[in-house]
Structure 1
Amino acid sequence: MYDDDDLSVLDAELDLESPLDKMGDVSEAEVPKPNPDAMLALLDAPDNQQRMIAARAFCELEDERAIPYLITLLKDVCPLIRVSAAYALGRNPSPEAVEPLIIQLNQDWNGYVRKGIVWALGNCRDRRSLEPLILSLKTDISAVRLWAASALAQMSEVSYDAIISAIPPLIEALRQDPIAAVRSNCAWSIGQLCRELPSNVVYATAIDALIEAFAEDEEMGVREDAKLSMLKVGDPRGLQVIEQIEQEGLV
């Protein structure tokens, strides 16, 4: 669907980092937060640099007054402004932003922007985000797939139906994605979603996939993430398999 070359301007290591790791709260003791009124005034400034500074400020600030401006900036001609607006909408999630985010995800040529959008869609915790995130996990470049896998974990706060729908594509990616970091994030998300499920067929299938990844994945990091997910879920069968495999020294 997309060409991996559209991320050629990004640092290779940054491509594979999770947005959940990069978007933590900024300590007030480290950096004073910008003045929200001043930043609001710059969101529609004619100068690109001012708009970008303002959009980045709302990656830290939570102010619903900024949301309409940030939605508009998703269509800015400058990709740095678009990605800043996406991150800011992830920090200021709103039902009104979901459709504009989905539209931009479907048409933006820049992988960096799409990464920010999938993170924002996850934070919106909206049922409408489910299908676009699944499509990104299946078809986008590796860096975006990585973040889509993490974002799908947010379906745990949406609905039972959303959880049930998110698990099969995560299992598929856990088994088949060629990038180990993507598989690791799938294992983590499956664990998050399983914690909200009763013991049913979908739950059992998800645990089977985690057991399979723990026992068979070629990458140690993926095996460890699958193990940690099972430990957090506390599934008796998964815990028994972990103990058995470790005793036999098979991993």
Structure 2
Amino acid sequence: MYSNDDLSVLDTTDDLESPLDRLEPVDAESETPKPDPEVMLAMLSSPETPQRMLAARAFCELKDERAIPLLINLLEDVCPLVRVSAAYALGRNPSPTAVEPLINQLNCDFNGYVRKGAVWALGNCRDRRALPSLIDALKNEISAVRLWAASSLAQMAELDYEEIVASIPPLITALKQEPLAAVRSNCAWSLGQLCREMPSNAIYAGAVDGLIEAFAEDEDLGVREDAKAALLKLGDPRALQLIETLELEGFV
């Protein structure tokens, strides 16, 4: 689907994280002074690429609505480092106006880091328009993007019942079929988050069954532990009884 000639292919475990992944919360206390928003706003329109990149990264720490239209423009910057910084910054400054531009960039950008940042930002936007793109990314993207598509789908828990229901089947499928353990772990976590907002119906039962299967049968210990944690947080009586039984019998 994508070119193999640059940063666009991030399909090994070592490449799952990009430099901007480990961002602290915007309101987190830090000994380092935050950048001046007025200066950074002006630099977003700088003709110099390093200045635009620095300013976009600054809004990964700053929240300012005035930056949103400028950051949207930078999603199409010629420099991929500017584009990825703009995507992460929009994740820190989520806005309904950014949803369609982020979807467009996810669909067309050759750079895997940019697409990954777009997926993360779309999750933070918590907008139903992003749901089809997040599901498609979970099914068809490179591993680094699938990783965050899985966790971004958990944000649909804050939307309506229809969006929650639509998010669950692709997560169950990925939990069973995804080759990368880290992605399966994120699927398990997201299913736990979504099911907390679900009534006890057939869709909920299917998700619990998927989590039980992962807990009992997944080859990766981390996935099994994440599936177990999701089930314990749900407090589903059937799942709790089965966990106890399997552990007592030494099957897990």
Q: What interval of TM-score do these two structures reach, taking the shorter chain for normalisation?
A: over 0.9
> How big is each residue's C-alpha offset from its partner over 1:70-110, in whole Å with a ceiling of 9 and x where there is no partner?
00000001000000000000000000000000001000000
**Map of 1:57 onto structure 2:** 58
**Do the aligned residues in 2 keep the contact of 1:146 with 1:182 (CA within 8 Å)?**
yes
- Once the two structures are overlaid, the 10-residue window that deviates more, 91-100 or 235-244, is 235-244
**Do the aligned residues in 2 keep the contact of 1:155 with 1:166 (CA within 8 Å)?**
yes
User: In the alignment, residue 120 of structure 1 is paired with which amino acid?
Assistant: A
> How big is each residue's C-alpha offset from its partner over 1:17-59, in whole Å with a ceiling of 9 and x where there is no partner?
4999723326433321111011000001000000000000000
| TM-score, normalising length: structure 1 | 0.95
Distance 1:231 1:101, change over 3 A: same
Question: What is the aligned residue count?
Answer: 251
Distance 1:207 1:18, change over 3 A: farther
Distance 1:29 1:43, change over 3 A: same
Distance 1:6 1:135, change over 3 A: farther
**Do the aligned residues in 1 keep the contact of 2:8 with 2:112 (CA within 8 Å)?**
no
**Map of 2:90 onto structure 1:** 89
Distance 1:40 1:11, change over 3 A: farther
Query: 2:167 & 2:148 partners in 1: Cα distance?
Result: 14
> How big is each residue's C-alpha offset from its partner over 1:94-129, in whole Å with a ceiling of 9 and x where there is no partner?
000000000010000000111100000000000000
What RMSD in Å do the two structures reach over aligned CA positions?
Answer: 2.0
Distance 1:164 1:11, change over 3 A: closer
**Map of 2:25 onto structure 1:** 25
Query: 1:234 & 1:5 partners in 2: Cα distance?
Result: 47
**Do the aligned residues in 1 keep the contact of 2:3 with 2:110 (CA within 8 Å)?**
no
Distance 1:46 1:122, change over 3 A: same
1:1-251 map, 5 Å: 1-2=1-2, 6-7=6-7, 13=13, 15-17=15-17, 22-25=22-25, 27-251=28-252
Query: 1:194 & 1:52 partners in 2: Cα distance?
Result: 39
> How big is each residue's C-alpha offset from its partner over 1:109-165, in whole Å with a ceiling of 9 and x where there is no partner?
000111100000000000000000000000000010000000000000111111000
Distance 1:175 1:12, change over 3 A: closer
**Do the aligned residues in 2 keep the contact of 1:18 with 1:150 (CA within 8 Å)?**
no
User: In the alignment, residue 65 of structure 1 is paired with which amino acid?
Assistant: R
Distance 1:111 1:64, change over 3 A: same
For structure 1, the residue ranges without an aligned partner over 5 or more in a row are none
**Do the aligned residues in 2 keep the contact of 1:3 with 1:141 (CA within 8 Å)?**
no
Query: 2:93 & 2:122 partners in 1: Cα distance?
Result: 11
Query: 1:30 & 1:12 partners in 2: Cα distance?
Result: 34
